[in-house]
């Protein structure tokens, strides 16, 4: 059976992503609160979420938002953080290789960490229904944009989001994603190198370059590890 996009796969992706979408909405609501405090309007923040749809880089951009605008710093930080999407998109080749350029690009626009991780689990299980990816991605997209707008609009009612643990929502979501993969012995070393390198480089490098270089270090270890050829 060849790769295909079905409405059933789309619905499966939407249903599977729903719990993570709720968490993402709370995270984006906290981002909306921060954006309001920085002086961005609801329209500006909603447009950013709709066009960028990348939580970590949006947080960094809003934190750096000031007058005069540090355009170079924002662009470089966004590049460093989101460059991981190049590798993530490449791993979806089993589903997107024959999808055609317009459909593949549309799927990649809605690809974020959560929809990518859920899709990789399905790919590992042997699923050929690529409709799962846009189903998960679009669900997360709707909740993300809505959460941003709600947080900006009603953020004044929550003067300190950290007291409610909203600032931890992003970390909680990523921990859930990590548990989905249940890394085996072959993945322990790349994971360990990535974490150690990222933490070590955070002390030495400004901005978020430690994220990119830490991921690159882990990828190198995975590529040249003895079990790589057998696993691929």
Q: What is the pLDDT of residue 42?
A: 92
* Pair 207, 230 in one domain: yes
User: What is the domain extent for residue 153?
Assistant: 7-182
Task: Give the total number of structural domains in the chain.
Answer: 2
Q: Which pLDDT value is given to residue 230? A: 43
Residues 90 and 198 in one domain: no
Q: Is the peptide bond before 48 cis (omega within 30 degrees of 0)?
A: no
Residue 116 domain flag: yes
What pLDDT digit, counting tens, does each position of 95-105 carry? 999 889 999 99
Q: Are residues 22 and 123 in the same domain?
A: yes
* 176 and 216 both lie in a single domain: no
Residue 1 lies in a domain: no
In this prediction, residue 140 carries a pLDDT of: 96
Question: Which parts of the chain register pLDDT below 50?
Answer: 228-232
pTM for the model stands at 0.76
Residue 232 confidence (pLDDT): 41
Same domain, 19 and 66: yes
């Amino acid at each position: 059976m060849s790769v295909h996009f079905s409405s059933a796969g789309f619905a499966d992706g939407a249903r599977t992503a729903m719990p993570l979408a709720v968490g993402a909405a709370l995270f984006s609501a906290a981002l909306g609160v921060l954006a309001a405090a920085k002086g961005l309007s609801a329209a500006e923040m909603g447009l950013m979420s709709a066009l960028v749809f990348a939580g970590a880089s949006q947080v960094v951009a809003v934190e750096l938002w000031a007058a005069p605008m540090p355009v170079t710093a924002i662009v470089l930080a966004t590049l460093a953080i989101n460059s991981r999407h190049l590798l993530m998109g490449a791993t979806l080749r089993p589903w997107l290789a024959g999808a055609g350029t317009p459909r593949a690009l549309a799927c990649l626009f809605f690809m974020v960490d959560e929809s990518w991780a859920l899709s990789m689990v399905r790919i590992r299980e042997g699923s050929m229904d690529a409709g799962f990816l846009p189903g998960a991605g679009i669900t997360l997209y709707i909740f993300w944009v809505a959460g941003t707008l709600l947080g900006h609009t009603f953020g004044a009612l929550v003067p300190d989001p950290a007291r409610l643990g909203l600032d931890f929502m992003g970390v909680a979501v990523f921990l859930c994603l990590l548990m989905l993969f249940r890394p085996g012995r072959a993945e322990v070393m790349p994971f360990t190198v990535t974490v150690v390198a990222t933490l070590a480089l955070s002390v030495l490098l400004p901005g978020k370059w430690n994220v990119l270089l830490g991921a690159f270090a882990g990828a190198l270890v995975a590529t040249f590890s003895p079990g790589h050829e057998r696993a691929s």
